[in-house]
Amino acid sequence: MTTAYAEFTLPQRRRSDRRGPIRWIVSHTLRYWYLSVLMILGAVGNAALASVVPIYIGKALDLITLDAADLRGLLQISFVIAISQVVRSVLQFGRNFGAELMAQNIERNIRDELYVSLLGKSMTFHNLQPVGDTMARATNDVREINFMFSPGINLVVGSATFMVMPLIFSSQYHPALIIAPLFFSITYVLSLWQYLYELSPVSDGVRQAFGRLNTRLAEALDGVETVKGMSQERQEIDLFQDNARSFRDYFVRQGDIEARFIPYLLMGLTQAGGLFHAIWLYQQGAINLGDIVAYFGLLLLLGFPTFISLFAYSQVSLGVAGARRILELISRENDLDQNERGYANRMEGKVEFRGVSFAYETGETAIEDVTFSVKQGQTIAIVGQTGSGKTTLVKMINRTYDVTKGQVFVDGVDVRDWNLEDLRQQISIIEQDIFLFSRSIAENIAFGKPDATSGEIEAAAKAAQAHEFIETFKEGYETVIGERGVTLSGGQRQRLALARAFLTDPRILVLDDSTSAIDSATEDKIQRAIYAAAEGRTTFIITHRLSQIRWADLIVVLRNGRIAAIGNHEELLATSQAYRLIFTEGKSPNI
């Protein structure tokens, strides 16, 4: 089995068998073997006691026809039937309770395993994997596995025991009477195999269609401002309807397969043939009238596995399809390793890129043969056209992306040799697209340091020039902001992100165009905050603001993923026409 590395794992997690969806489900089920035993014993007892009713009704009929005066015997039969059905109800409760408890526990464990796995995936994975499809797998597909156990497997086990009872008890009346239930059992298994064979790809299609439907819905809702701004509501509705129609079509195909479910016909033939056979034996004097009634009552038990299997096996098939999709997500290979035994120390902040290249899984090259060194405490400005690889370059420092070729060193140690958690705790990246959680302002600032005191949070906010606007809110630092900070302005979101970074006191600070949404009145304050934050730590600034570029110790100009020019402000003014054009005319780096 191939070992999939992870950026992040939780200790003492029980490993599951990921060599296939069935093995994976079984490995989760074995953790609750005692609930499986309870379910099976309950199912066997339930079916056995269900057989008591026709058997004893047959005996009662014999008493009535052969000895009408034996009222004592009839009362005993009534008592046996009543007691057996009370016990049966208890066993049935145990079966259902065991199945439901097992289903809920397995759903919880699978959600836990999937969530931990998703947190451990690299950004390369998350950039390529649609969020809507991931959410469909994490919610609906996981729920289908729950339904697969309860009521799915619960009913499958129960129906199987009901099918066995006629095979066990029929021969006690006459050996030849086993023919009908034996015929049904063999043809039932064969027809069920054919049914599941046809149903399996359709079940996979249902789950995949739902994933596409959910992906499109998530994209439309996430980009609803763009949709409304360009009056594309009708187009989005049409696209959603196309996906919904595809989802519906798979269910129609599933219904078509279910409509041709042969066991219904087999059950009718079995019961009719069995009754005819029993009457013929009665005419031959081989059995009596009560035996016919009891035998036919046993054949009626076959109705439960027949009627319930149409639903139960469809549910099992959907559960296996869901498990296959979840396992595919969990088992997706990941190149990043958290390297728990790696280098861990107080970071100084020296950074070196040595022949670094990076290409995405699609084959597109983003960075090619980049080499430069940064001393501790220096400020580095990285400039270039959109798409020149600026953001990708800095994200290789904390291994958000891993180099395809070459090496990145922090304090002389290859970042791949660092303990990943220790490396990232000392590097803070503030991106242009600020992400804030639907929590209080204080919780957002303290996200990287959950145990921070209110004084520390307030000090970080003041350093980021955020304290003043926070105090204008009625609830101050306890104000709950909307998802992604939509209730705040762009400048306010960026100042909260700066405060979040300042609180963790990183040794390496990366500002990815993080002041682009700040108005000119606030820029001077933010600039002073950045100056103060940069003091004593290595700072990378991705920006087009000349006021930030000019005071950098080192300026790296990128073009198509390569270094086009490098030096300080004075050197580049003297040697680089492209940089001189940027600075003197205030233009974007058109190089």
Tokens of 151: 């009521």
Instruction: Transcribe 347-377 into DSSP letters.
Output: ----EEEEEEEEE-TTS-EEEEEEEEEE-TT
Rounded distance between C-alpha atoms, residue 115 and residue 128, angstroms: 17
List beta partners, residue 356.
370
Q: Give the per-residue pLDDT at 32.
A: 93
Residue 582 has pLDDT above 70, yes or no: no
Q: Which of 155, 203, 194 is nearest to 320 (CA)?
A: 203
Question: 451 burial class (0-12, 13-18, 19+ CB within 10 angstroms)?
Answer: exposed
Please check the confidence at residue 309 and state whether its pLDDT lies above 70: yes
| Least-confidence region, from 27-31, 185-189, 222-226, 448-452 | 222-226
Q: What is the DSSP string of 107-129?
A: HHHHHHHHHHHHHHS-HHHHHHS
519 pLDDT tier (thresholds 50, 70, 90): low
- 590 confidence band (pLDDT: 50, 70, 90): very low
- Answer whether 47's CB lies under 8 Å from 95's CB: no
Question: How many whole angstroms separate alpha carbon 212 and alpha carbon 140?
Answer: 13
Phi-psi region of 133 (alpha: psi -120 to 50; beta: other; left: phi over 0): alpha
Confidence of residue 489 (pLDDT cuts 50, 70, 90): confident
pLDDT band at 498 (very low <50, low <70, confident <90, very high): confident
- From the candidate CATH numbers 3.40.50.10490, 3.40.50.300, 3.30.70.20, 3.40.1190.20, the one assigned to the domain spanning 340-426+508-514+542-591: 3.40.50.300
pLDDT category at 225 given cuts 50, 70, 90 is low
* Alpha helices (H) along 121-153: 123-128, 131-136, 142-147
Instruction: Check whether 27 has a pLDDT greater than 70.
Output: yes
Q: Give this prediction's pTM.
A: 0.71
Contacts of 455 (CB under 8 A, 6+ apart): none
Domain residue spans in the chain?
21-330, 340-426+508-514+542-591
**What is the pLDDT, as a whole number, of residue 96?**
93
Asked if pLDDT for residue 352 goes beyond 80, the answer is yes
pLDDT at 517: 52
Domain boundaries 21-330, CATH class: mainly alpha
Most confident of 11-25, 318-332, 515-529: 318-332
**What is the β-pairing status of strands 538-542 and 554-559?**
unpaired
Q: How far is CA 540 from CA 106, 287, 358, 512, in A?
A: 46, 94, 19, 8
Rounded to the nearest 5°, which phi and psi values hold at 284? -80, -5
Identify the residue with better confidence: 387 or 43: 43
Tell me the percentage of the chain whose pLDDT exceeds 90: 29
Mean pLDDT for 215-225 is: 74
**Interval 545-573 mean pLDDT:** 84
Is the confidence at residue 172, as pLDDT, over 80?
Answer: yes
Contact (CB, 8 A) for 87 and 204: no
Closest by Cα among 203, 166, 153 to 309:
153
- Residue 203: is its pLDDT beyond 70? yes
Alpha-carbon gap, residue 440 to 502, rounded angstroms:
18
Query: Could you tell me which residue, 263 or 299, shows the higher pLDDT?
Result: 299
> Is residue 537 helix, strand or coil?
coil
Q: What is the pLDDT of residues 395-413, one digit of tens each?
A: 899 888 888 899 999 999 9
Checking if the pLDDT of 200 tops 70, the result is yes
Lowest mean pLDDT among 26-40, 248-262, 420-434, 569-583: 569-583
- 503, HSE (Cβ side, Cα atoms, 13 Å): 28
CA 360/CA 392 separation, integer angstroms = 10
Give CA–CA dist 311/528, Å, rounded.
67
Q: Which of 61-75, 165-179, 252-266, 560-574 has the lowest mean pLDDT?
A: 61-75
Asked whether residue 481 carries a pLDDT value surpassing 70, the answer given is: yes
**pLDDT top residue among 518 and 423:** 423
Q: What angle do CA 439, 443, 445 make, to 5 degrees?
A: 120
Beta strand 379-384 pairing with 554-559? parallel
The percent of residues in the chain predicted with pLDDT above 70, rounded, is 89
Q: Report the alpha-carbon distance of residue 158 to residue 275 in Å, rounded.
A: 25
**What was the pLDDT predicted at 1?**
37
Q: How confident is the model at residue 125 (pLDDT cuts 50, 70, 90)?
A: confident
Averaged pLDDT score across all residues of the chain: 84
pLDDT-derived band of residue 66, with 50, 70 and 90 as boundaries?
A: low
Average pLDDT (420-430) is 86
Look at 434 and 4; give whichever has higher pLDDT. Answer: 434
